[in-house]
């Protein structure tokens, strides 16, 4: 969804239909799961090749309809919790005349308009780069590229429809790469382990560490590709 906020800021977030799907869909799915607990327990007890497990017998012996009402209610609550979690993980982008705000999980980052030299979508990520080629932000986003492009171009930001202007500068990282600055190889090695595990928090923190060393990194198929920011460029 895109709307105009205070001060002429264009706000891009989840569409109305996406929000309805999340807030209605997860609780309904939870209710259906709760409704299916008793039939599943009965099926387990009545099927000869499925072991007779204690929880199934316990559920089957609970008084009705109270037990079904309780499991459905628990399923709805679980669905609401999942919806709240999903809502918090969605990126909200505010594009104003003087700054960009990126909000996720209640945390907001602000990037001054004057620092931004390129904005583009890199797959499922929104990227803002600065004057020296450094990345000011790289955020995972399921927001429609068209809505993001309209918000940024509408405020006069340099949206790059052709993607990353630095794409040809990346090279694949190999251990002990001699052209990297001191300390960068160690960070990239640690980051390779986090990439293999899918540890998003560690990946983000180590990306920031590389940025302090003047190194920009992007991931593809669990491989790391790097380039140098043009310090003083």
What is the spatial distance between Cα 137 and Cα 159, in angstroms, rounded to a whole number?
14
Mean pLDDT of 71-77: 81
Give the per-residue pLDDT at 132: 92
Q: Which of 8-17, 104-113, 212-221 has the lowest mean pLDDT?
A: 8-17
Q: How confident is the model at residue 20 (pLDDT cuts 50, 70, 90)?
A: low
Is the predicted pLDDT of residue 66 greater than 70, yes or no? yes
Beta carbons within 8 Å of 46's beta carbon, 6+ residues apart: none
What per-residue confidence (pLDDT) applies to 179? 95
Are residues 133 and 165 in contact, defined by beta-carbon separation less than 8 angstroms? no
Residue 59 CB contacts under 8 Å (≥ 6 apart), including other chains: 37, 38, 41, 67
Residue 232 pLDDT: 46
Q: Which of 18-27, 88-97, 118-127 has the lowest mean pLDDT?
A: 18-27
Is 0.75 topped by the overall pTM?
Answer: no
pLDDT of residue 58: 73
- Report whether 32 contacts 75 (CB < 8 A): yes
* Cβ neighbours for 211, distance < 8 A, ≥ 6 positions apart: 134, 135, 229
Rounded Cα–Cα distance for residues 36 and 160 (Å): 50
Asked if 203 and 195 count as a contact pair (C-beta separation under 8 A), the reply is yes
Pick the residue with more confidence: 17 or 152?
A: 152
Among 21, 4, 5, which Cα is nearest to 142's?
21
Is the Cβ–Cβ distance between 9 and 95 less than 8 Å? yes
Here the tokens at position 84 are 């709240």
Whether the CB-CB separation of 29 and 48 falls below 8 Å is answered with: no
The answer to whether the Cα torsion of 172, 176, 181, 187 is positive or negative is positive
Nearest to 186, CA basis, from 175, 178, 196: 175
Comparing CA positions, the residue from 200, 219, 217 lying closest to residue 104 is: 200
Sign of the C-alpha dihedral computed for residues 56, 59, 64 and 67 taken in this order: negative
What is the average pLDDT value for the chain, to the nearest integer? 85
């Amino acid at each position: 969804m895109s709307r105009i906020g205070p001060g002429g800021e264009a706000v891009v977030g989840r569409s109305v239909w996406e929000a309805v799907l999340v807030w209605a869909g997860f609780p309904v799915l939870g209710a259906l799961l709760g409704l299916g607990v008793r039939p599943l327990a009965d099926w387990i007890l009545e099927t000869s090749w499925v072991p007779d497990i204690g929880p199934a017998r316990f559920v089957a012996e609970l008084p009705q309809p109270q037990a079904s009402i309780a499991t459905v209610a628990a399923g709805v609550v679980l669905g609401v919790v999942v919806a709240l979690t999903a809502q918090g993980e969605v990126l909200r982008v505010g594009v104003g005349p003087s700054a960009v705000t990126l909000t996720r999980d209640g945390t907001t980052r602000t990037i001054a308009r004057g620092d931004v030299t390129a904005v583009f979508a890199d797959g499922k990520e929104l990227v803002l780069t600065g004057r020296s080629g450094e990345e000011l932000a790289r955020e995972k986003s399921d927001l429609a590229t068209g809505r993001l492009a309209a918000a940024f171009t509408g405020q006069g930001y340099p949206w790059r429809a052709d993607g990353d202007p630095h794409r040809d500068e990346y090279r694949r990282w190999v251990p002990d790469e001699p052209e990297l600055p001191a300390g960068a190889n160690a960070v990239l090695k640690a980051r390779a382990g986090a990439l293999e595990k899918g540890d998003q928090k560690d990946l983000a923190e180590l990306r920031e560490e590389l940025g302090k060393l003047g190194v920009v990194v992007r991931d593809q198929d669990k491989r790391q590709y790097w380039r140098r920011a043009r310090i003083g460029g």
